[in-house]
A and B are shown apart, each in its own frame.
Chain A
């Protein structure tokens, strides 16, 4: 694949003025090295803390990956930038919470839900995932299908929908962050790390499973074969007699469902929050820009980078600049785009 498109490591380095290892790039590489050394020193001084933060970063990356994989799947196949993807995430959490609240009949004086059983966790999860998947397909069929190829217009339509969804969510759900109840103990004992949040481990596990399943779907099934072919040449796929509309609907179903799943898991690990839509839209954007649009491995690498940066910068940055941690995300974007304008695993459309 890489040699066919001409993007190999040698080519990138030999391309001279087009992709230069300029002074700025070297400077950024130096900063990166400094950060790695700094984190290494910290790790040596307190291994438990380091292990905990790394695990935090990885579980965060798991959540990010589930969201971004849906985004990149939709974009890769259909060239639709789904600006409502963050709204899907947020709605996923809200729907699960409301269903669970109905099932558990919480004590009205208590703020938190009582502990859920396996059923009262899985039913809201599944209801929420399929509602969001259905919503995604509806949006695709009603608003996007007849605008195929008009990328800007499709992005604008999903932006407009995201405003409406956000405002309606505030109206129906309120502005207070709420937690989805889980059927497991809060934390368990791990070697080296010590006590650690169970749901975070579950999240990491689910992310890995999702990644493997997606990879299998893409590489082994007929649907995946058409998706791969569609990413390369949509017209040719249609010409070969494939009903690409069905595949588009399927991709939107799957992509939205992943956002919904992430929303429920995020609501269980952290909380369901009305400002999550913008946050997770940004995260999806950054991950697919860094990883390369439409690339599943790219989404995984981007998610791990972003998750680790988030988690390390929270703890290891000196106190004076800890509030400026988001600048690291900025530098990550700048750095990757300076060296690889189409992202780490991306290639020109």
Chain B
């Protein structure tokens, strides 16, 4: 475990190292592996945000991510979709964030009354309904998706300047990470965690539990929407397949690999997932059956280590610390890590 006083230096160091990587990596690595991992990690962070602070496993996050992407695709200049607006990409993206948060609030109002496994089922239902809506409503999603969505001109061409969108994603991911850590210490964040730990007591103390939860869900929707917007900026296309039940499950898998209760695990999980997804294809006996291999990896992780990779890291480091010092108890000193969530 990293001591609390080193959190900032270590965090800044990681971001700096990540920032210089594209100077040495090929443009394929930068774009298809690193940028993709950052965006998927951001989407997974919205899931882990709700899981670690609220004790909720939401399967609607990828649906919300898709809503943001489709709103951008419909409002901005693109091939397919509504085609009537052709707005400025920045305006379209801003509106996408607003629309997604509103839909997040709507889902949040309903879902926040439920807990545990019920919440998982309800959010999955909402996620799949969003996908079905876009699949059926071809005037919103085009036939075969929306393609060639215009990118902000600052980002340059995706082929020539893959590092620009990478840096943008890195900056936003870092901001979101810091933001979530900050949120966890605000009165609101503490109240949200209090609800996770003991709902009846928080209600008795006079907190409006449903309202707090709904707003927290909307914050999660906002993070998912950021990832959705970045995804269409990077990918320039989106189709209903992007938010199908398979990808929904793989996003959950990313969060599980990372460990459901550490925000930074989102990006660790995403990087592992993207690397597996890319490399498994070239393994002889896997070939086309990447999904089977990923499913087996997922199954093994769930069976063997419910805390994911971050869970393995934590148990190793705490074991190491225990053996190193019987002198005094090591204290992490921040409230976000609660192994009870993922371990259940």
Q: Which residues of A contact B (CB under 8 A)?
A: 79, 81, 143, 150-153, 155-157, 159-164, 166-168, 171, 277-278, 281-282, 285-286, 288-289, 293, 323-327, 329-330, 333-334, 337-338, 341
Contact = CB atoms under 8 A, between A and B. Distances in A.
A293 B122 CA distance: 12
Given A157-B303, A167-B289, A293 B118 contact: yes
Contacts of B295: 160-161, 163-164, 167
Contact of A151 (B110, B129, B344): B344
Nearest to A149: B344
B125 interface: yes
Interface string B295-313: 1101100110010000000
Given A150-B344, A281-B245, A282-B129, A337 B110 contact: yes
A278 B128 contact: yes
A164 B117 contact: no
B294 interface: yes
Given A81-B117, A282-B125, A338 B249 contact: no
A344 B294 CA distance: 38
A242 to B, nearest CB: 24
Given A278-B244, A282-B128, A164 B292 contact: yes
A156 B298 CA distance: 9
Nearest to B139: A323
Contact of B133 (A150, A161, A326): A326
Given A152-B344, A163-B295, A278 B110 contact: no
Q: Which 3 A-B pairs have the closest CB atoms?
A: A163-B295, A167-B291, A160-B299
B95 interface: no
B118 A163 contact: no
B144 interface: no
Contacts of A151: 116-117, 344
Given A171-B288, A323-B137, A324-B137, A79 B246 contact: no
Contacts of A161: 295, 299
Contacts of A152: 57, 116-117, 120, 344
Contacts of A325: 136
A66 to B, nearest CB: 19
A341 B129 contact: no
B34 interface: no
Chain A binding surface, main DSSP class: helix
B125 A157 contact: no
27 contacts: A81-B120, A151-B117, A151-B344, A153-B306, A156-B256, A156-B298, A157-B299, A157-B303, A160-B296, A160-B302, A163-B294, A164-B296, A166-B291, A167-B295, A277-B245, A281-B245, A286-B125, A289-B122, A323-B136, A325-B136, A326-B132, A330-B129, A333-B129, A337-B113, A337-B114, A338-B109, A341-B114
A318 B291 CA distance: 40
A168 B125 contact: no
Contact of B292 (A79, A168, A285, A286): A168
Interface in B242-298: 244-246, 249, 252-253, 256, 288-289, 291-292, 294-296, 298
B245 A285 contact: no
A288 B117 CA distance: 13
B15 to A, nearest CB: 31
A278 B289 CA distance: 19
B246 A166 contact: yes
B216 interface: no
A151 B129 CA distance: 23
B174 interface: no
B124 interface: yes
A113 B189 CA distance: 61
A276 B289 CA distance: 19
B302 A157 contact: yes
A150 B289 CA distance: 30
Contacts of A81: 117, 120-121
A151 B256 CA distance: 15
A154 B87 CA distance: 46
B289 A159 contact: no
B138 interface: yes
B126 interface: yes
Contacts of B299: 157, 160-161, 164
A285 B125 contact: yes
A151 B122 CA distance: 15
A323 B142 CA distance: 12
Given A152-B120, A166-B246, A327-B133, A334 B110 contact: yes
A152 B344 CA distance: 7
B343 to A, nearest CB: 9
Contacts of A281: 128, 245
Contacts of B120: 81, 152, 155
B252 A285 contact: no
A156 B113 contact: no
Contacts of A160: 253, 295-296, 298-299, 302
Contact of A333 (B125, B246, B288, B296): B125
Contact of B121 (A143, A166, A289, A326): A289
Contact of A329 (B122, B129, B298): B129
A153 B302 contact: yes
B197 to A, nearest CB: 17
Given A152-B116, A333-B129, 14 more contacts: A152-B57, A157-B299, A159-B298, A160-B295, A163-B291, A163-B292, A164-B295, A171-B288, A282-B124, A324-B137, A326-B132, A326-B133, A333-B126, A341-B114
